[in-house]
Every structure is written in structure tokens, then in C-alpha cells.
Amino acid sequence: MAVIGLLYIPFLARLPRRTRAWFLISGTVYVFGVIVLEALENVLHLPAETPLDGFLAIPDEGFQMAGVALFAFALLDDMRTRWRAPRSRRPIRRGDRRRVAAPMRRRAGASSCDRCRSRPPS
């Protein structure tokens, strides 16, 4: 497992600093849930299907789910920062807003939905 982790070092090094930090945090949280809490359950030698075994499974599974959720957040955050839509450098003026947000006027007798417009009048 350590060899596979070492193979990912060049990939992590090419990531932006913020994304790399979130990837490492999410991986640490996940591995903590898998290794440390599973080992704790094995050290206690609890019989399966007991209430205490179920109670100890909550933090174990919780850390794993939190690690996956943090990784998903890291991916979405990276996508948001890399593929942000270009912004216009010209500020929006008051008159521009009125023109853009003005409601469309309907013709007299026109229907309000596309489905009704496609039918011939009865």
C-alpha cells in the first residue's frame, strides 16, 4: 500500500496547493477510519452483532464517509476554481439591469406555455 501511495506523489505535486491539501486531509480521515478504528475494534475482541459492536461501528463508518465526502468536496472545489466562467470586466449599470430583467410582454390572446402554443386553436 505504501508503494502505491508513493506512486501518487508526482500526481499530488502537480495539483494546486488548495486541492492537494484537501486531497491529503480527506485521505487521512478515510485511512484513520479504516486502519485505526478497525484495529481498535479488533483489539477489543467484541463478539459480532452486539450493541457495543454496533456502537463502535458508528465512528468507524463515520470517518470513512467523512473522508469520501471531503474528497468529493475537494474535486468539486477544484472544478469550480479551474473551470470558472469568464467574467466581464465592464460593470453592470442600473439601466443594464432593467433591460435584462424586464418581463416579456405577451401578445393579446397568447397562451402562457409552449405546449398550448403548438396546438391549433379550437
pLDDT digits (tens, 9 = 90+) for 16-55: 999 999 999 999 999 998 888 888 877 877 777 778 777 8
Residue 109 lies in a domain: no
Tell whether 70 is covered by a domain.
yes
Is 34 inside a domain boundary? yes
Which cell numbers hold the place of 96? 443594464
Does 100 fall in a domain? no
**Mean pLDDT score of the chain:** 79
For residue 6, tell me if it sits in a domain: no
Q: What 3-state DSSP class applies to 3?
A: helix
In a domain? residue 5: no
Asked whether residue 105 is domain-assigned, the answer is no
Residue 109 has pLDDT above 50, yes or no: yes
φ/ψ of 102, rounded to 5, equals: -65, 135
- As a three-state string, the secondary structure of 8-58 is CHHHHHHCCHHHHHHHHHHHHHHHHHHHHHHHHHHHHCCCCCCHHHHHHHH
Task: Work out how many domains the chain is built from and give that number.
Answer: 1
Q: What percent of the chain has pLDDT over 90?
A: 35
Is residue 111 scored above 60 in pLDDT? no
pLDDT tens digits, 44-54: 777 777 787 77
Range of the domain at 65: 15-82
pLDDT of 101 reads 47
